[in-house]
Chain A
């Protein structure tokens, strides 16, 4: 059974940083592209970033480019999202997703003073 468990969310002040983690199990993590998707409270899904199997191909949405960094550690079956220069509009539940087919339950990031 595929399991994706996100963690690292919380309350952070504008301009601050957070690192999200997503621990994967139940499938060969190193064989799959991974994505981060977010959802602001009461709003729709928004794609954030993706990374290929060995980390050599990375893409970002314009809204986070230059502020967020996606990475992965295949030895630890873990996906990361380093979020810097956070803004109020980054407040959302962040989901990691295996090839955009299966995702976790998400972790809530709140950016507020």
Chain B
């Protein structure tokens, strides 16, 4: 069961916007609107930031947004802040009745 493909790292300056991509196949991202994004700070448990492609849980800043096109999902963070520096993981339902995560992207705020 291969993982979804994310860039290993991205960076941006405070106030800028960045986008993290997550590429899968028609059996996962492309076939279902069940893509989620998680934020994980060092030593902490993951936190859900986006679910069902573009929905934000209560309490998550509207600076975080999600989208999908074909087999690729994206997480955009606007107005970058120092506290956004973390690892980000995408996840999708897969047609084999399983769930798959991406390899993770380390976001550095310069």
Docked complex Cα distance between A102 and B1 (Å): 24
Please indicate the chain A residues that have their CB under 8 angstroms from the CB of B99 in the complex. 35, 47, 50, 100
User: Are the CB atoms of B45 and A100 closer together than 8 Å?
Assistant: no
Docked complex Cα distance between A63 and B101 (Å): 14
Stretch in contact with the other chain, from A16-24, A66-74, A83-91, A103-111: A103-111
Answer yes or no: A61 CB below 8 A from chain B CBs: yes
User: Are the CB atoms of A104 and B45 closer together than 8 Å?
Assistant: yes
Answer yes or no: A101 CB below 8 A from chain B CBs: yes
Q: Assuming A45-B38, A61-B1, is B97 touching A102 (CB within 8 A)?
A: no
Query: Could you give, for residues 82-110 of chain B, a 1 whenever the CB lies within 8 Å of some chain A CB and a 0 otherwise?
Result: 00000101010000011111111000000
Please indicate the chain A residues that have their CB under 8 angstroms from the CB of B104 in the complex. 44-45
Docked complex Cα distance between A59 and B102 (Å): 19
Docked complex Cα distance between A64 and B3 (Å): 16
Q: Which of A45, A46, A95, A103 has the most CB of B within 10 A?
A: A45
Docked complex Cα distance between A35 and B101 (Å): 13
Docked complex Cα distance between A98 and B3 (Å): 21
Please indicate the chain A residues that have their CB under 8 angstroms from the CB of B103 in the complex. 44
Q: Which chain A residues in 34-56 approach chain B with CB under 8 Å?
A: 35, 37, 44-47, 50
Quick one: which of B45, B57, B91, B102 contacts A95, CB cutoff 8 A?
B45
User: Are the CB atoms of A101 and B89 closer together than 8 Å?
Assistant: no
Please indicate the chain B residues that have their CB under 8 angstroms from the CB of A35 in the complex. 99
User: Are the CB atoms of A61 and B98 closer together than 8 Å?
Assistant: yes
Docked complex Cα distance between A101 and B37 (Å): 10
Docked complex Cα distance between A62 and B96 (Å): 11
User: Are the CB atoms of A59 and B98 closer together than 8 Å?
Assistant: yes
Please indicate the chain A residues that have their CB under 8 angstroms from the CB of B38 in the complex. 45
Task: Beyond the given A50-B99, A59-B97, A95-B46, please list 10 additional residue pairs across the A-B interface where CB-CB is below 8 A.
Answer: A35-B99, A37-B46, A44-B102, A46-B101, A47-B91, A47-B98, A61-B98, A100-B99, A101-B57, A106-B45
